[in-house]
Amino acid sequence: MRSRFTAFTLEDAEHLLRTWHPTTRPDSLDFDPGLSWRRLLIIDRVAGGPFDDEGVVEFEAFWRQGAERGSLHERSRFVREDRRWYYLDGAVR
C-alpha cells in the first residue's frame, strides 16, 4: 500500500500498473494536473501477512490541489500470487 501511495505522489504509472492485478488493471492511468498527495494514514489491516494470500488495507490519503484540500478514504483488497502482492480493487468510503 505504501509503495502504491508513493507511486501516486511521483506519478509513477509503471509501478502502479505493475502492482495492479491483471483482472482489474486499467489499460492506462491519467493523473490530475496539480493534484498533490500529501500524507497516508493506515486505518486498518486485515491479514496480508507473510503466510496470507489475501489482505485488506483501509486507508485515508490526503491531497491538495491549489487552495483545495481533501482526502480519499478507501478499503482496498490485495492478493498475493507468485510471492508478489497485487492491488485488486477498493471500496471508497
Task: Summarize pLDDT for 48-76 with one digit per residue, the tens.
Answer: 999 999 999 999 999 999 999 999 999 99
Distance CA 20, CA 92 (A): 17
* Banded model confidence at residue 2, pLDDT cuts 50, 70, 90: very high
Q: 52: number of CA atoms within 13 Å, CB side?
A: 13
Which one is the CATH code of 2-92: 3.40.190.10, 3.30.70.240, 3.40.50.720, 3.10.450.50? 3.10.450.50
Q: 75 with 87: CB under 8 angstroms?
A: no
The H or E element spanning position 61 is strand 54-65
- Domain ranges (residues) in the chain: 2-92
- Asked whether the whole model's pTM tops 0.85, one would answer yes
- Which of 38, 78, 81, 32 is CA-nearest to residue 55? 78
Q: Give mean pLDDT, residues 8-22.
A: 98
Q: Give mean pLDDT, residues 33-54.
A: 97
* Banded model confidence at residue 91, pLDDT cuts 50, 70, 90: very high
* Banded model confidence at residue 23, pLDDT cuts 50, 70, 90: very high
Contacts of 42 (CB under 8 A, 6+ apart): 1, 57, 58, 59
